[in-house]
A = this chain, B = another copy of it.
């Protein structure tokens, strides 16, 4: 209830601070019988891991996950899965100067006011380091969804500052230093990021997340529509400031005749809805897009106050991503996986099982 749990039937509860001894989580509700090893989760953790390229924070964390329970002889047992990642490269001294400072656009001020006390080292609990556990938990959901229902979840950078990726080449995403799907924009992105780093500034990004082969019928009206739970999940990711489903904000200027996805016996003729009608999946691809604000930690000085309310100038010297949006890509996938996994279980509770029979119409004409 204090907000550290996500999901209702497939629940993930995380703990851990940026510079504490370890991060951890408990995944409860995983169906028994799923083959699961630490290696299954490590690949996504490696995609999220800092320090892979020069465009990311140079903090070196192996982010090696340990499974402590809930898996026996290579299979999940239906009991809670406890996981742990030790923090290795904390360098607390980097952060000592922020003990009495409120960094602009950070959570320092609000945590201080809310709790009266805060772990200021590296942002403490408000650091995006916590998302490592989400990626680990999301990895379990991803594997189950893929194995049992054939659902595939992928995300990619669709915009970095002013640069929009235009080509959608799925095979390029994992080759790109930016999770970009557009091979033609790789050089431009690199140049932009190098200049940004030199400047000491940061920039925002837009990430698109797509789930394919989603069965019809997932989502619980009224309040726990699939899109509402996706919005919740996405907005819970550090730095996210906007969420769109399907046509998103373009819907504002669309006419009804344009927006409505007509249906034929061969499937839907378009997907402005983004794969959900009335909060329930339609079998079309789930289309989600999110906006991430620029990194708040900057070498360029900014005005702020200290814990006594005195004016100060803040300069952040630590190691930071110039664009936090990039590494949010696997996190966004993980969160979408958690939402779908939760709704698969919720659907099964009331309706036995998710229909994988041929629905009345195919997804897409």
In the complex with contacts A278-B106, A348-B352, A350-B2, A82-B119 CB distance below 8 A: no
Answer whether residue A57 sits at the interface, using C-beta atoms and an 8 A cutoff: no
Q: Distance (Å) between the CB of A356 and the closest chain B CB?
A: 12
Q: What residues of B have a CB within 8 angstroms of the CB of A130 in the complex?
A: 222
- Residue of A22, A293, A311 with most chain B CB atoms under a 10 A cut-off: A293
Q: Are A277 and B232 in contact (CB under 8 A)?
A: no
From B118, B230, B241, B352, contact of A77 by CB (8 A) = B118
**What 1/0 flags go to A70-86 for Cβ under 8 Å of B?**
10100111111110100
- B114–A78 CB distance below 8 A: yes
Contacting residues, chain B, for A124 (C-beta < 8 A): 72, 77, 79
**B4 contacts A302, CB within 8 Å?**
no
Oligomer: number of copies: 4
For residue A82, which residues in chain B have a CB less than 8 angstroms away from its CB? 15-16, 22, 24
The contact of A114 among B205, B216, B240, B295, by CB within 8 Å, is B216
Partner of A104, one of B118, B201, B261: B261
A139 at the interface (CB under 8 A from B): no
Give, as a whole number of angstroms, the nearest-CB distance from A310 to chain B: 7
B20, B70, B113: the one within 8 Å of A68 (CB) = B20
**Stretch of A44-52, A175-183, A249-257 on the interface side:** A249-257
Interface residues of A in 203-255 (CB under 8 A from B): 203-206, 216-217, 219-225, 227-236, 238, 240-255
Tell me the minimal C-beta distance from A209 to chain B in angstroms.
14
How far apart sit A265 and B346, CA to CA, in the bound complex (Å)? 36
**CA distance in complex: A9, B298 (Å):** 37
A54 within 8 A of B: no
Flag if A262 contacts B303 (CB, 8 Å): yes
